[in-house]
């Protein structure tokens, strides 16, 4: 290869790198950004910290038991028998329950996804991302639970976890509901 040809290849490579860098920069500038917002006036939040504070599992079960019309769930890992029982009981009393789980739940030896599906609750798998790491419940379009707390026995009994139940903030609830529906549309049946 002659010197002129080598210079041409180097120039093309530099241009490709420059274009690639510009494309990444443009993507970063146009990507949605997180924004700080105020909680709605009159909204409330309740916190849980295990093992050193109030039980996240008890808070979730209490919220499920108070749910009357709709319960949306996103779960990375879902093996908690008490939470699964409360979800099934909500379904039996007429609550519209729908569940999204991570693809890892397909190969788990025990998962509440199987239990819930056998109870007649629609369960789907969010397969598109590498990990669907959400731990979210939306109650009656009025409240949201979120945090590090997986819906598992280990989360309640062995791990250091946290969670927050936010009530009465329509903007927060809508954001979580919208995200749930986006993930649901990209999921497949369990």
Q: Identify the active-site residue in 103, 133, 141, 153.
A: 133
Q: Classify residue 140 by its DSSP letter.
A: T
User: Could you give the CA distance from residue 112 to residue 87 in angstroms, rounded to a whole number?
Assistant: 10
User: Could you give the CA distance from residue 79 to residue 155 in angstroms, rounded to a whole number?
Assistant: 10
Residue holding tokens 């999921």?
187
Note whether 165 and 45 are within 8 A (CB).
yes
Tokens, residue 132: 């669907």
Active site residue 181: no
Helix (H) or strand (E) run with residue 137 in it:
strand 135-139
Chain-centre distance for alpha carbon 77:
10
Chain-centre distance for alpha carbon 185:
14
Do strands 143-147 and 161-167 pair parallel, antiparallel, or not at all (unpaired)? Answer: antiparallel
Q: Identify the active-site residue in 70, 140, 141, 153.
A: 140
Note whether 111 and 84 are within 8 A (CB).
no
Active site residue 133: yes
Active site residue 135: yes
User: Could you give the CA distance from residue 134 to residue 69 in angstroms, rounded to a whole number?
Assistant: 22
Active site positions, annotated: 133, 135, 140
């Amino acid at each position: 290869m002659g010197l002129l040809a080598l210079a041409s290849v180097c120039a093309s490579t530099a241009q490709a790198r420059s274009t690639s860098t510009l494309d990444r920069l443009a993507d970063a500038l146009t990507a949605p950004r997180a924004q700080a917002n105020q909680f709605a006036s009159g909204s409330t939040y309740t916190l849980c910290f295990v093992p050193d504070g109030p039980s996240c599992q008890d808070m979730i079960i209490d919220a499920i038991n108070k749910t009357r019309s709709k319960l949306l769930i996103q779960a990375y890992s879902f093996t908690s028998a008490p939470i699964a029982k409360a979800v099934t009981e909500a379904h039996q009393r007429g609550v519209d329950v729908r569940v999204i789980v991570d693809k890892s739940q397909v190969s788990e030896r025990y998962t509440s996804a199987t239990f819930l599906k056998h109870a007649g609750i629609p369960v789907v798998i969010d397969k598109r991302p590498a990990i669907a790491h959400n731990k979210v419940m939306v109650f009656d379009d009025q409240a949201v639970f979120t945090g590090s707390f997986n819906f598992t026995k280990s989360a309640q009994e062995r791990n250091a976890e946290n969670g927050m139940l936010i009530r009465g903030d329509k903007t927060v609830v809508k954001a979580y509901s919208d995200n749930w529906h986006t993930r649901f549309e990209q999921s497949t049946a369990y």
